[in-house]
Structure 1
C-alpha cells in the first residue's frame, strides 16, 4: 500500500465521508476519477456533501445563479442619476436585491418588482422557457466572457421590472429595426429580439478563446468582473483590512500586486507570486491535474453554496498540465491540503482534507 499525498485529493469542505475509507477498491476508483476525469466525478463517487452554511437559493437547476456570494464589500450602480451602493455579492443568489435600495424601492409606493427575487445567470446555461435579459446595472461587466444577464424566472418570480423599468431590454424591442439598433441585441425568427449571446449558434461559439485571461476551458474562472467596487480582506495575519478590487479573482490577473502587504514596495523585492496571475474557480468544474486550493482571503465566500477555490494553474492558456507556478501556497497557506505530506497531518486539518489509500504494484 502507498499513501497518496493530499495534493492528489479533491480539496473540499467535507461534512461527512459516506464511503468506506478502508475499502481499497473504492479508494482506487476515487483516485482514478481524480487523475482521469477531474474533481467533479471524484466528488460524486465519494458521496460527500460540501459545506453549506446558511445555504442560499441559487436558482433553478436549469438556470443556476452565477457570481461569488458572501464577498465583503460594496459595489456602485448608476441608477437614474443616483449612485447606489449594493453589496458586492449583489445578484449572486435569489433575493429581493432592489428592496429598500433601488431609488424606486425606498418609499411607500414602491414598484411591484421591488420585492421580487432574481439573480444573474449564464444565458448559455439557462434552459427555462423565460429568456434571461441583458442587465442594465453593469453595462461593462462580464462573466465567463459574456455580458451579465438576469432572471426572475429561475427564482420562481414573475419579472415586472423589465417591462416597467428597462426600456432598452432586448425583449422589449418589437421590430427588427428597433432590435438591430441596440448593440447587445439580435433578432431571431422564433423568439424575436434577444440578447446577442442567445441568437443562433452564438452560445455554441467558444467564448473562451483567451484562456490566459478567462482560465483554461477545463477549469474556467468564476465571478463577475468589470464592476466598480472594493473587497476588504481581513484574514492576512498581522495586518488590518486590505483593500482589493471588487473584481478580485474574476479572471486571470496578478491580483495581489500592489495590494497584498508583501507585494508593495520595490518590484524587485516582491515575492514571485505577487506578479503571477490566478483566479477563483469551481473545484467541481476543474479538470486540471493541478488541484485548486481553498481560498484564504474570504473564508465565508461561496459559489453555488460551496467554498471558493483559487488556481494559478488555470491561468496559463491551453494544456491541462500547463499553468503558472504557484509559489504562494507553500509559504502563505500552510494549512492547504497540498502542504500536508502525511496522513496524520492531512487528517489533522479536519474535514477540509481527504487522504486516500490505494494499492500499488
Structure 2
C-alpha cells in the first residue's frame, strides 16, 4: 500500500499506470467490474494497473454527525482489492487539506504527476475535488492535455437497480443477507476478537463466542443468522445472534456465534463471520426454557441450511480474515 497525502506520494511507484478510482466500500460486484476493466486496459496497453481509493469517507471529516457505517474496514477493503489481482494500491488520506484541493489541481498534481496515469477508469457518477466540483466532463476536457484516456464504467444492475454500497447497506439493514451476498459477489463478513460475555448461551446449553466487532461496520438487522465462521484457517457452520437479548432485558447489541461441531476455547482469537442467510427476527421469550427450545430449533435449521450452502462456498480465505 502507498499513501497519498495532500495529493503527494511519500514514495515513487511503478509507472505509467492505468488508474481505477473510487471509494470502493464493500468491493461489490460493480466495483469488481470497474477494477477488472482497469486491469484489462493495463494489460492491453502495457500499463501498471493501480487502484486509488480513500482511507475514509469524506463525510467523516466534513459532516461527522452524518458519517455512514462501512461495509468493509480499510484492511478488509485492501485485502479484497488485492484478491482481484491488483498489487499496486494507493490510499489517499482524507483530511481537510485533501478535501480542499481543487479538482483541476488534483488531476494535474496527482493523476498526471504523482501517478503518471495514462488511463483513468471511474464510475459514471464519479465526483472529486473541493465541493465535489470535478466530474466526468472535467476529466474528459483534461484528458488530452494530461495525456490519459478516460473510461467511465456503467454500473452493474441487479433486478433493474444499480448495485451500490448504499443499496447494500439498505439490504443489510433489512436483514436480507442472502441478497447482499449476491450484490457483493460473496457473503457479507464481520471479523473481531472473541471476548468474554455473560455466558448466557452456555447456561442454556449452547455456548457462544461473543465478537468484539468493529464499531464502524454495518450491522445486519437484529435477528438470528446462519453463517460460516472461520478461525485459524478452519471454517464451521454457525448460528449467530445479532441482538439485545430481550429475554434477559439486554440493551446493548451483541454479536454471538454458536459454532456447529466445534469444541475448544475461542477466547482471544480472531473469528470471521460470513453471513449466509437469515433464520428469523429477534424475539423476546417468556422464559429461558422457551428460549432454549427455540435456540435448539435454530441450531437444527442452521445445520440443514449450512449443509446445503457449504458446497458453494470458498474455503476460508486468509486474505479476507
TM-score class, shorter-chain normalisation, is: under 0.3
Question: Which structure has the highest helix share of the two?
Answer: 2
- Using CA pairs below 8 Å that are at least 6 residues apart, which structure has the higher relative contact order? 1
Question: Which structure has the highest strand share of the two?
Answer: 2
